């Protein structure tokens, strides 16, 4: 072994030696980074995301990081595909009234319910070799509806009045109502052969005793193309090909999901080769992705996918000024959203004209839109009794100035920037806006959920294709102390027409008639403006040139649900 | 001395008990509860679900009752379950605690190894070129934002040079001691730089102050060599205020490595406590914060012991 050489004192060096040192430094600094192990191997893909899943149980708590990881290891019975169409994933044929696998049945109370029959994929098998069967469906339902199980949204399970097991792979689900999405069965099955005993021993302790918490690397917990083999808490998860997977074999033997919360550090990890790919679902913000593309577009491909994340401003409809629809419309005309989208997002995030994404089949093309028109905004405000006064600020007849508070999440650079732009644009039409930001923890944990805002709040909704806005627009969903602050109609919007439309859409089975109802709903939304639509957020997927087959979806089922299509192209 | 230490430990236990209530009450008074956060994220959660979940997590009971239940269980060794992780708190804490202790002890050792000699040497030659250079270094270290320094080090050593890993605690799939150490280099360097700056300033100030005392002159007059005077008399006395600051810093360092841990995706206690507070994981946040408190208290007891060792007069009292 060679001993390290001792440097000579600086004073002893000759100019030639200095030149040699300089050349060495240049050579070192200019040298290419160390070999990129993940990229070089190609049988391993390292994905970077900004969050680490706190639990891997599919039904306890809701977290995007968990969904992203689990979609590689578990599949729901049905899901939306890339074209936002409902398809069978774990089942073999999508049930419908037309194919006879679904039928309307009478309920004991005289109402109507739906009986829907599903057939599980014949080869679907948990990673330990146990077949995925109807018994898993029954167990999942039983656990889900148990009041002490700790499952967050019991309503999904409570809508099911019974499950008939026809055979190991076939079962009929009885729903207590008939809705247009009667055949959607998006729950994740739990392995009864592992979980039942733990659950029945003590349902109240199940959430802490489930194998997804105590033995997350148990092969029997997963049946997808991959199974989780290592969980390094707070750092990374390792997934390996599942030998019992019944679909096409995935190209990568191992997939590693690494959590790096700081997005600048995430970029550095990508550039240094420690990760191969930054997932769009939990990756760089749009401005960071645009800047990254400008700097490193030659090495990485950046794909943008606008989706169902709807950025908007919820209004306090009890506010003296905002209660007037003309003021709300004036605020819409006062905003220049096209310029905001173009300047801040390079046009990658399309302007929203209602709460329905243009990619959704129920989107209506002819909804009223609000172009940037300060003159029209001024006329509407005049009409509403807010006249321009001294200092360019509008006042009502009593001299009260038109002042509104705009809140958003502190630390979200883009929202803070948009809030400042809107403040300036609304000032130009005589509306004074005070920007007050709160940490997400406070805004979402208290201010919004308990309706403690006075004015406007900018945030986003995440929904699914053809998601009926019952929880956000129906008058039953206004959070109050009496209902335990449940519901997400934070604006306090109460419209009999909207309630009727929501009720009707849920029950309407005919697609054309439903489309007409959706059109009316969007018109009503765009006219009443309980919230001000801004834009639909886009996810930025930062991929190496060699990674192929990743197809962003734009909805709640992440691209990782089709991980078996991903491959490394030579 | 032993009696004094035992007395201080008993005092610390009382402080810890009081702090447990204060922290519990503060966490309980934070806006929103875990169910509120769930309601905001999950549109399908109904009013009945909200009531059921509050009952299940015990959130429908008064704060005092919840605290009393927690305390009784904690005294029996049951620190409760982490709501976010679904595992016993002690189990969740173990790994991040080990990571943080390793990161902080190495950082502290590096910082002291660099700062104490530099601070001392600068104090011996006040207003010299060397002193100015050391002061410049100290102020640069103190004023450099940790997140910026971390990202710069990462860009240089991981992205441009490719010498060191950009984050994590070890390579995926394990790795040997060398790999583990290579993952420590950048976070340790980031944490140490600011600490070096601060400790240089403390050491330099304390040393200058000590060297002005009459007994230093007396020691010299008695014929003791300059090196002996500085090391045996000056340094030992100058270390007393430095030890006090170090003891107080211990708890802060423990929970204050949050930025470094976030930048380097290093799963440690700072990040764990932050996520627990933000995610309304009462049990985990409480135990994490109490650990930081306990460490500060322990640091103070250790400082008392160190005073006795550094200054026999204190020991004799």
User: What angle is formed at CA B300 by the lines to CA B299 and CA B305, rounded to 5 degrees?
Assistant: 95
Mean pLDDT, range B82-110, rounded to an integer = 88
Q: In what order do the strands lie in the sheet with A112-119?
A: A102-106, A112-119, A170-175, A160-167
Q: How far is B183 from chain A (nearest CA, A)?
A: 12
Per-residue pLDDT 10s for chain A (570 aa) are 333 333 333 334 444 444 444 444 444 444 444 444 444 458 999 999 998 887 899 988 778 899 999 999 999 999 999 999 999 999 999 999 999 999 999 999 889 999 999 999 999 999 999 999 999 999 999 999 898 887 766 777 888 999 999 999 999 999 999 999 999 998 899 999 999 999 999 998 898 889 999 999 999 999 999 999 999 888 899 999 999 999 999 999 999 999 998 898 999 999 999 999 999 999 999 999 999 999 999 999 999 999 889 999 999 999 999 999 999 999 999 999 999 999 999 999 999 999 999 999 999 999 999 999 999 999 999 999 999 988 899 999 999 999 999 999 988 889 999 999 999 999 999 999 999 999 887 888 788 888 999 899 999 988 889 999 998 999 998 988 887 777 889 999 999 999 999 999 999 999 999 999 999 999 999 999 999 999 999 999 999 999 999 999 999 899 999 999 999 986
Element (H, E) at A145: helix A134-145
Confidence (pLDDT) at A570:
65
Tokens of A458: 């900018």
User: What angle is formed at CA A372 by the lines to CA A371 and CA A376, rounded to 5 degrees?
Assistant: 90
Tokens of A15: 């100019």
Closest CA to A55 of B57, B261, B87, B93: B87
Q: How far is B181 from chain A (nearest CA, A)?
A: 17
- A257 neighbors A50 (Cβ within 8 angstroms): no
Mean pLDDT is lowest, of A26-35, A142-151, B185-194, B296-305, for A26-35
- A157 neighbors A59 (Cβ within 8 angstroms): no
- Is any Cβ of chain A less than 8 angstroms from the Cβ of B32? yes
Confidence (pLDDT) at A10:
36
- Is any Cβ of chain A less than 8 angstroms from the Cβ of B179? no
Q: Residue A230's closest chain B neighbor by CA?
A: B173
- Coil, helix or strand at residue B156: helix
Confidence (pLDDT) at A4:
34
Confidence (pLDDT) at B44:
65
Q: Are strands A455-462 and A403-409 parallel, antiparallel or unpaired?
A: parallel
Long-range contacts formed by A96-100: CB under 8 A, 24+ apart: A96/A183, A97/A509
- Is any Cβ of chain A less than 8 angstroms from the Cβ of B146? no
Could you tell me where the DSSP H helices lie in A51-117? 64-70
- Of the two residues B171 and A8, the one the predictor is more confident about is B171
Q: Angle, nearest 10°, between helix axes A337-345 and A413-427?
A: 140
- The helix, strand and coil proportions of chain A, stated in percent and rounded to the nearest 5, come to 35, 20, 45
Instruction: Give the number of A-B residue pairs with CB atoms closer than 8 Å.
Output: 186
Q: How far apart are CA A55 and CA B38, in angstroms?
A: 14
Q: How far apart are CA B22 and CA B7, in angstroms?
A: 23
Confidence (pLDDT) at B251:
67
Verify whether the Cβ–Cβ distance A272 to B158 is below 8 Å: yes
Verify whether the Cβ–Cβ distance B87 to A33 is below 8 Å: no
- Of the two residues B223 and A118, the one the predictor is more confident about is A118
Reported pTM: 0.84
Q: A40 to chain B: which residues are within 8 Å by CB?
A: none
Confidence (pLDDT) at B314:
63
Query: For residue B15, what are the CA distances in angstroms to A461, B79, B184, B288?
Result: 45, 19, 34, 16
- Is any Cβ of chain A less than 8 angstroms from the Cβ of B77? no
Confidence (pLDDT) at B40:
65
Q: How far apart are CA A393 and CA A386, in angstroms?
A: 9
Question: Residue for token digits 């045996």?
Answer: B232
Strand residue runs (E) in A243-381: 254-259, 277-278, 300-315
- For chain B, report the end-to-end CA distance as a whole number of angstroms: 9
Q: How far apart are CA A244 and CA A253, in angstroms?
A: 14
Verify whether the Cβ–Cβ distance A154 to B48 is below 8 Å: yes
- What's the pLDDT band for B130 if we cut at 50, 70, 90? very high
- Of the two residues B49 and A334, the one the predictor is more confident about is A334
Q: For the segment B143-157, what is each residue's pLDDT rounded down to a tens digit?
A: 988 889 999 999 999
B44, B95, B264 member nearest A155 (Cβ) = B44
Query: For residue A280, what are the CA distances in angstroms to A236, A285, A286, A538?
Result: 17, 9, 10, 9
Q: How far apart are CA B189 and CA A166, in angstroms?
A: 64
Confidence (pLDDT) at A24:
42
- Is any Cβ of chain A less than 8 angstroms from the Cβ of B29? no
Best residue in B167, B179, B180, B269 for a mutation probing chain A (most A CBs within 10 Å): B167
DSSP state of A401: B
User: What angle is formed at CA B43 by the lines to CA B40 and CA B46, rounded to 5 degrees?
Assistant: 95
Q: How far is B170 from chain A (nearest CA, A)?
A: 10
Instruction: Please check the confidence at residue B255 and state whether its pLDDT lies above 90.
Output: no
**Per mean pLDDT, which of A479-483, A549-553, B47-51, B179-183 is the most reliable?**
A549-553
- A130 neighbors A191 (Cβ within 8 angstroms): yes
Confidence (pLDDT) at B277:
85
Q: Are strands A112-119 and A102-106 parallel, antiparallel or unpaired?
A: antiparallel
Confidence (pLDDT) at A18:
45
Q: B173 to chain A: which residues are within 8 Å by CB?
A: 230, 238
- A541 neighbors A559 (Cβ within 8 angstroms): yes
Query: For residue B152, what are the CA distances in angstroms to A293, A319, A356, B159, B190?
Result: 20, 48, 43, 10, 10
Q: B36 to chain A: which residues are within 8 Å by CB?
A: 444-446, 449-450, 485
Q: How far apart are CA B56 and CA B45, in angstroms?
A: 15
Verify whether the Cβ–Cβ distance A152 to B42 is below 8 Å: yes
Mean pLDDT, range B285-295, rounded to an integer = 88
Q: How far apart are CA A66 and CA A88, in angstroms?
A: 22
- Is any Cβ of chain B less than 8 angstroms from the Cβ of A568? no
- Is any Cβ of chain B less than 8 angstroms from the Cβ of A198? no
- For chain A, report the end-to-end CA distance as a whole number of angstroms: 40
Query: CA torsion sign, A418 to A419 to A424 to A427?
Result: positive
Q: Residue A270's closest chain B neighbor by CA?
A: B159
Tokens of A478: 């206004």
Mean pLDDT is lowest, of A90-104, A488-502, B102-116, B294-308, for B294-308
Q: How far apart are CA A458 and CA A418, in angstroms?
A: 9
Confidence (pLDDT) at A14:
47
- Is any Cβ of chain B less than 8 angstroms from the Cβ of A62? yes
Integer Rg of chain A from CA:
27
CB atoms within 10 A of CB A318: 11
With a CB cutoff of 8 Å and minimum separation 6, the contacts of B268 are: B96, B99, B100, B103, B257, B261
Please give the full DSSP string across A409-438, using - where no structure is assigned. Answer: ETT-HHHHHHHHHHHHHHHTTT-EEEEEEE
What secondary structure, in 3-state letters, does A437-450 show? EECHHHHHHHHCCC
């Amino acid at each position: 072994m060679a001993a390290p050489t001792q440097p000579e004192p600086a004073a002893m060096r000759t100019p030639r030696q200095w030149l040699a040192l300089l050349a060495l430094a240049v050579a070192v600094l200019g040298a290419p980074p160390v070999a990129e192990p993940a990229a070089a191997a190609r049988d391993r893909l390292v994905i970077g995301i900004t969050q680490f899943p706190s639990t891997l149980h599919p039904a306890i708590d809701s977290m995007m990081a968990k969904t992203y990881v689990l979609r590689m290891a578990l599949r729901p019975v049905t899901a939306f595909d890339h074209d936002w169409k409902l398809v069978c994933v774990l089942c073999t044929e999508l049930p419908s009234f037309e194919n006879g696998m679904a039928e309307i049945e009478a309920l004991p109370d005289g109402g109507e319910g739906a009986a829907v029959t599903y057939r599980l994929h014949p080869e679907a098998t948990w990673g330990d070799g146990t077949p995925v069967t109807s018994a898993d469906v029954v167990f999942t339902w039983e656990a889900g509806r148990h009041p002490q199980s700790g499952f967050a949204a019991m309503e999904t399970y409570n809508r099911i009045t019974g499950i008939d097991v026809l055979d190991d792979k076939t079962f009929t689900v009885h729903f207590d109502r008939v809705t247009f999405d009667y055949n959607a069965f998006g729950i994740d099955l739990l392995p009864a052969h592992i979980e039942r005993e733990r659950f029945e021993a003590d349902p109240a302790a199940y959430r802490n005793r489930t194998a997804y918490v105590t033995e997350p690397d148990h092969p029997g917990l997963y049946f997808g193309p991959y199974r989780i083999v290592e969980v390094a808490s707070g750092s990374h998860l390792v997934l390996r090909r599942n030998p019992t997977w019944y679909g096409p074999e995935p190209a990568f033997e191992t997939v590693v999901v690494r959590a790096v919360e700081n997005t600048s550090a995430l970029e550095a990890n990508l550039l240094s080769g420690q990760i191969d790919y930054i997932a769009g679902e939990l990756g760089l913000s749009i401005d960071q992705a645009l800047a990254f593309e400008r700097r490193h577009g030659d090495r990485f491909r950046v794909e943008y996918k606008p989706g169902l994340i709807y950025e908007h401003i919820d209004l306090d409809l009890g506010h003296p000024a905002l209660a007037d629809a003309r003021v709300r419309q004036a605020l819409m005309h006062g905003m220049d959203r096209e310029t905001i989208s173009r300047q801040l997002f390079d046009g990658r995030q399309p302007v929203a004209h209602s709460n329905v994404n243009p990619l959704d089949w129920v989107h209506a093309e002819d909804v009223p839109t609000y172009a940037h028109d300060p003159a029209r905004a001024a006329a509407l405000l005049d009409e509403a009794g807010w006249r321009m006064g001294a200092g360019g600020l509008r006042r009502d007849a009593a001299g009260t100035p038109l002042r509104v508070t705009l809140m958003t999440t502190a630390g979200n650079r883009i929202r803070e920037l948009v809030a400042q732009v809107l403040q300036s644009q609304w000032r130009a039409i005589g509306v004074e806006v005070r920007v007050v930001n709160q940490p997400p923890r406070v805004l979402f944990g208290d201010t919004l959920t308990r309706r403690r805002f006075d004015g406007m709040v900018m945030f986003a909704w995440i929904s699914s294709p053809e998601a009926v806005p019952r929880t956000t627009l129906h008058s039953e969903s206004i959070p109050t102390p009496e209902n335990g602050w449940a519901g997400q109609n934070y604006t306090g919007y109460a419209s009999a027409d909207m309630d009727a439309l929501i009720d009707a859409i849920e029950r309407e089975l005919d697609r054309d008639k439903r489309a007409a109802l959706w059109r009316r709903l969007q018109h009503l939304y765009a006219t009443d403006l309980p919230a001000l639509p801004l834009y639909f957020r886009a996810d930025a997927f930062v991929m190496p040139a060699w990674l192929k087959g990743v197809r962003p979806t734009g909805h709640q089922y992440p691209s990782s649900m089709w991980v078996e299509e991903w491959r490394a192209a030579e | 001395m032993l009696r004094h230490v035992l007395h201080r430990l008993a005092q610390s236990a009382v402080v810890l008990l009081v702090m447990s209530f204060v922290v519990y009450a503060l966490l309980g008074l934070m806006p929103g509860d875990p169910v509120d956060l769930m309601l905001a994220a999950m549109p399908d959660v109904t009013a009945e679900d909200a009531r059921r979940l509050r009952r299940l997590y015990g959130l429908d009971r008064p704060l005092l009752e919840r605290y009393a239940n927690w305390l009784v269980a904690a005294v029996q060794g049951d620190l409760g379950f982490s709501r976010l992780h679904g595992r016993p708190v002690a189990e969740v804490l173990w790994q991040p605690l080990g990571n943080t202790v390793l990161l902080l002890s190495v950082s502290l050792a590096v910082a002291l190894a660099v700062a104490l000699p530099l601070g001392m040497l600068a104090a011996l030659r006040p207003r010299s070129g060397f002193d100015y250079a050391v002061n410049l270094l100290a102020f640069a270290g103190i004023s450099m934002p940790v997140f910026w320094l971390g990202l710069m080090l990462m860009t240089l050593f991981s992205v441009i040079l490719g010498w060191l890993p950009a984050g994590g605690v070890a390579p995926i799939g394990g790795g040997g001691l060398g790999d583990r150490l290579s993952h420590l280099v950048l976070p340790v360097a980031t944490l140490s730089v600011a600490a070096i700056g601060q400790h240089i300033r403390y050491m330099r100030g304390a040393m200058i102050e000590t060297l002005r005392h009459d007994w230093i002159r007396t020691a010299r007059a008695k014929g003791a060599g300059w090196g002996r005077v500085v090391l045996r008399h000056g340094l030992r006395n100058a270390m007393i205020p430095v030890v006090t600051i170090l003891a107080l810093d211990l708890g802060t360092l423990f929970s204050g490595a949050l930025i470094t841990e976030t930048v380097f995706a290093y799963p440690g206690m700072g990040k764990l406590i932050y996520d627990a507070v933000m995610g309304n994981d009462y049990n985990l946040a409480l135990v994490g914060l109490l650990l930081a408190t306990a460490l500060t208290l322990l640091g103070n007891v250790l400082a008392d012991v160190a005073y006795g060792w550094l200054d026999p007069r204190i020991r004799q009292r």
